[in-house]
Amino acid sequence: SQELEQSPQSLIVQEGKNLTINCTSSKTLYGLYWYKQKYGEGLIFLMMLQKGGEEKSHEKITAKLDEKKQQSSLHITASQPSHAGIYLCGADFPGNNDMRFGAGTRLTVKP
Protein backbone atom coordinates (compact mmCIF):
# COMPACT_ATOMS: atom_id res chain seq x y z
CA SER A 1 0.00 0.00 0.00
CA GLN A 2 1.33 3.44 -0.89
CA GLU A 3 -0.38 4.66 2.25
CA LEU A 4 2.24 2.85 4.30
CA GLU A 5 5.94 2.88 3.53
CA GLN A 6 8.26 0.47 5.29
CA SER A 7 12.03 0.75 5.50
CA PRO A 8 14.32 -0.91 4.93
CA GLN A 9 12.93 -3.38 2.40
CA SER A 10 15.35 -6.00 3.63
CA LEU A 11 17.83 -6.29 6.46
CA ILE A 12 20.62 -8.72 7.24
CA VAL A 13 22.06 -8.65 10.74
CA GLN A 14 24.45 -10.74 12.78
CA GLU A 15 22.93 -12.66 15.66
CA GLY A 16 22.99 -10.61 18.82
CA LYS A 17 22.77 -7.25 17.08
CA ASN A 18 19.97 -4.74 17.58
CA LEU A 19 17.86 -3.52 14.67
CA THR A 20 15.03 -1.12 13.85
CA ILE A 21 12.30 -1.28 11.20
CA ASN A 22 10.25 1.78 10.32
CA CYS A 23 6.71 2.28 9.09
CA THR A 24 5.54 5.69 7.86
CA SER A 25 1.99 6.64 7.01
CA SER A 26 0.95 9.30 4.51
CA LYS A 27 -1.91 10.31 6.82
CA THR A 28 -3.04 10.08 10.43
CA LEU A 29 -4.32 6.69 11.41
CA TYR A 30 -6.56 5.22 14.09
CA GLY A 31 -4.27 2.34 14.95
CA LEU A 32 -0.96 0.80 13.87
CA TYR A 33 -0.41 -2.95 13.93
CA TRP A 34 2.70 -5.09 13.57
CA TYR A 35 2.62 -8.60 12.13
CA LYS A 36 5.32 -11.20 11.46
CA GLN A 37 5.26 -13.68 8.59
CA LYS A 38 7.41 -16.76 8.23
CA TYR A 39 8.24 -17.53 4.61
CA GLY A 40 5.32 -19.20 2.86
CA GLU A 41 3.04 -18.95 5.86
CA GLY A 42 0.34 -16.70 7.29
CA LEU A 43 0.84 -13.59 9.39
CA ILE A 44 1.02 -13.63 13.17
CA PHE A 45 -0.15 -10.64 15.19
CA LEU A 46 2.59 -9.00 17.29
CA MET A 47 1.34 -5.69 18.67
CA MET A 48 -1.27 -3.00 18.36
CA LEU A 49 -0.61 0.71 19.01
CA GLN A 50 -3.51 3.12 19.19
CA LYS A 51 -2.41 6.13 21.21
CA GLY A 52 0.08 8.79 20.15
CA GLY A 53 3.36 8.23 21.95
CA GLU A 54 2.43 4.68 22.91
CA GLU A 55 5.12 2.07 23.35
CA LYS A 56 4.68 -1.68 23.81
CA SER A 57 7.08 -4.52 24.36
CA HIS A 58 6.89 -8.26 23.94
CA GLU A 59 9.96 -10.24 24.89
CA LYS A 60 12.80 -8.57 22.95
CA ILE A 61 10.57 -6.66 20.52
CA THR A 62 9.51 -3.07 21.22
CA ALA A 63 7.19 -0.98 19.07
CA LYS A 64 6.51 2.75 19.30
CA LEU A 65 3.97 5.07 17.71
CA ASP A 66 4.82 8.75 17.36
CA GLU A 67 2.71 11.55 18.82
CA LYS A 68 1.22 12.47 15.45
CA LYS A 69 0.24 8.82 14.84
CA GLN A 70 1.91 8.73 11.44
CA GLN A 71 5.11 6.85 12.14
CA SER A 72 6.00 3.68 14.01
CA SER A 73 9.23 1.84 14.68
CA LEU A 74 9.83 -1.78 15.63
CA HIS A 75 13.01 -2.47 17.54
CA ILE A 76 14.52 -5.89 18.20
CA THR A 77 17.17 -6.20 20.87
CA ALA A 78 19.84 -8.90 20.68
CA SER A 79 18.41 -10.52 17.56
CA GLN A 80 18.19 -14.30 17.25
CA PRO A 81 17.66 -16.60 14.24
CA SER A 82 14.07 -17.10 15.46
CA HIS A 83 13.41 -13.41 14.70
CA ALA A 84 13.95 -13.97 10.98
CA GLY A 85 10.97 -13.43 8.71
CA ILE A 86 8.96 -10.67 7.14
CA TYR A 87 7.65 -7.89 9.37
CA LEU A 88 4.60 -6.03 8.09
CA CYS A 89 2.94 -2.99 9.51
CA GLY A 90 -0.80 -2.54 9.11
CA ALA A 91 -2.95 0.50 9.67
CA ASP A 92 -6.53 1.33 10.41
CA PHE A 93 -7.32 4.58 8.55
CA PRO A 94 -10.37 6.80 9.06
CA GLY A 95 -12.97 6.05 6.41
CA ASN A 96 -11.67 2.54 5.65
CA ASN A 97 -13.34 -0.73 6.53
CA ASP A 98 -10.25 -2.89 6.39
CA MET A 99 -6.61 -3.16 7.41
CA ARG A 100 -4.02 -1.61 5.04
CA PHE A 101 -0.55 -3.16 4.93
CA GLY A 102 2.92 -1.99 4.09
CA ALA A 103 5.12 -4.00 1.70
CA GLY A 104 7.04 -5.61 4.55
CA THR A 105 10.66 -5.79 5.72
CA ARG A 106 12.50 -9.07 5.16
CA LEU A 107 14.79 -9.78 8.11
CA THR A 108 17.64 -12.30 7.98
CA VAL A 109 19.61 -13.08 11.14
CA LYS A 110 22.96 -14.73 10.57
CA PRO A 111 24.16 -17.10 13.29
Partner 1 sequence: DGGITQSPKYLFRKEGQNVTLSCEQNLNHDAMYWYRQDPGQGLRLIYYSQIVNDFQKGDIAEGYSVSREKKESFPLTVTSAQKNPTAFYLCATGQGARGFEKLFFGSGTQLSVL
For partner 1, the binding residues (CB under 8 A) are 1, 4, 9, 31, 33, 35, 40-45, 48, 88, 90, 92, 97-104
Question: Between residues 24 and 77, which has the closer beta carbon with respect to partner 1?
Answer: 24
Q: Whole-number minimum distance, CB 49 to partner 1, in Å?
A: 12
- Alpha-carbon span 38 to 33, nearest angstrom: 17
Residue type, position 86, single letter = I
Beta strand 105-110 pairing with 55-58: unpaired
Q: Whole-number minimum distance, CB 108 to partner 1, in Å?
A: 15
Q: Whole-number minimum distance, CB 101 to partner 1, in Å?
A: 4
- Alpha-carbon span 62 to 33, nearest angstrom: 12
Question: Between residues 31 and 75, which has the closer beta carbon with respect to partner 1?
Answer: 31
Residues in the chain: 111
